[in-house]
Amino acid sequence: MSVSTAAAARTVCAPLPVLGRDVTVPLVTGGEVTYAALDYAASAPALQRVWDDVAAYAPYYGSVHRGAGYLSQLSTDLFENARRTVTEFLDCRPDDQLVFTRSTTDSLNLLARALPAGCQVFVFETEHHASLLPWQDAQVTYLNAPRTPRQAVETLERALADRDPHGPALVCVTGASNVTGELWPVRELAAAAHAHGARIVLDAAQLAPHHPVSVQDLDVDWVAFSGHKLYAPFGAGVLAGRADWLVAADPYLAGGGASRKVTRREDGGVDVEWHESAARHEAGSPNVIGAYSIASACKALTEAGFDSLVAREEYLIAEVRAGLAGIPQVKVLSLFGDDAPRVGVISFVVEGWNSSHFAAALSAEYGIGVRDGLFCAHPLVRTLLGSDPQTQGECGAPEAAPGEKSLNAIRVSFGAGTPDEHVERFVTAVRELVSEGARWQYRTEDGRCVPAV
């Protein structure tokens, strides 16, 4: 990136205001510092706009769909308007359904429960566990990690060509890796899936907070994402896409709201008529605040303009990557290579350091929050680190004491709310730790590396 381009990118837009931007944390070496939240890929901080919208609604909170009172009616309108807002944000087709869930994981498990009998599922080993594991009850084909976007498409095409062409099939693919941040060729993969009579679901958990996601433009059949990665707390997610498989499946949860009519039979049992709308898979009292917070975040990102947000994020990515590239002991993990487009998610290892030790030092000595471990993408990280992708491990838990060889990595991630100063401080901290070492002693406690006291 040229100097002029970098300067332009920096001034495209200021960071979006987020909660916690002024929080200070203590350092083990003494004093306090403003916390640098660089773990967006796990949970992004809530946008101030989202928090304000929720606070304004909170006094009017009421039951949804089945209440005659004013607050119930208001909450019902809010919930359904949120559905329309998110539908527009995703550019869904007119006849698509949008179901509010708990998370991406919940969304993909819902879809897994809705698969037609005999459905074949194709998924790359590079997926987050949320999109790798829900298909255990189906006939699953796990595809090896590709090393280029073109190889990803070719790998999928070969696998689909060998399948039974008469039965249903589903491809599950991420939009942006939660480990490397690299963008996947979703449109090309969707075309390959459809050419072989398969459908495709997009895990947009890491894509939607950084880039616009259009169901119609990408030509995917479903899309899933989580509110907590889209600057919206309160534990809600989304599954949006074609209605037929969802309507044909039994409800994900049986209970009130999913049922249209329940009657007793003469033999003592009950007959149930289920809704055919999204309510079919939204049993129980819906998370209206969670849904509203997602809709608020969608509005905020749309109004800020993704062109500006992407331009600024690309500047931050370039700054971090250039800084890490100048430290010989640091190895950045990548599937597709240095030139691959990506979002603000970068994983790396540091020669001579246990990743948990390094992440603990960033936090305790510099007030910087990153993530270490295998990032709930064990096969991918182990492949990138050159180890057996079948080896099991526990999410986020280091497997060696500080200073010993570990198969974990460090992940830094950022987004629309990240100030320049946070990434600058991060690069400086990495350089200092590598050159000077930690200034504090650390020990292992409950599988985590923590400062010794």
Tokens representing residue 299 in the block: 């509005």
259 by Cβ neighbours in 10 Å (0-12 / 13-18 / 19+) ranks as middle
Tokens representing residue 71 in the block: 């607050």
Is residue 440 a contact partner of residue 29, using CB atoms and an 8 Å limit?
A: yes
Round to whole Å and give the CA distance between 449 and 320: 24
Quote the Cα angle for 60-61-64, to 5°: 125
Residue 437: count other Cβ atoms within 10 Å of its Cβ.
10
Round to whole Å and give the CA distance between 438 and 359: 11
Dihedral sign of CA atoms 271, 275, 278, 284 in order: negative
Is residue 302 a contact partner of residue 213, using CB atoms and an 8 Å limit?
A: no
Quick one: which of 214, 207, 131 has its CA closest to 175? 207
Laid out side by side, the sheet with 371-373 consists of 330-332, 345-350, 409-413, 371-373
β-strands 259-264, 237-241 pairing = unpaired
Quick one: which of 409, 421, 231, 230 has its CA closest to 320? 421
Three-state DSSP at 267 gives coil
**Residue holding tokens 């949970």?**
43
Of the residues 172, 298, 376, 449, only one is catalytic, namely 376
Quick one: which of 100, 45, 135, 20 has its CA closest to 288? 100
Tokens representing residue 149 in the block: 């976007």
User: CA dihedral in degrees (298, 299, 303, 308; nearest 10)?
Assistant: -10
* Residues constituting the chain: 453
Inter-CA distances, 434 with 273, 306, 332, 426, Å: 64, 36, 15, 12
Whether 395 sits among the annotated catalytic residues: the reply is no
Round to whole Å and give the CA distance between 57 and 60: 5
SS3 string of 326-390? CCCCEEECCCCCCCCCECCEEEEEECCCCHHHHHHHHHHHHCEECEEECCCCHHHHHHHCCCCCC
- The set of catalytic residues is 376
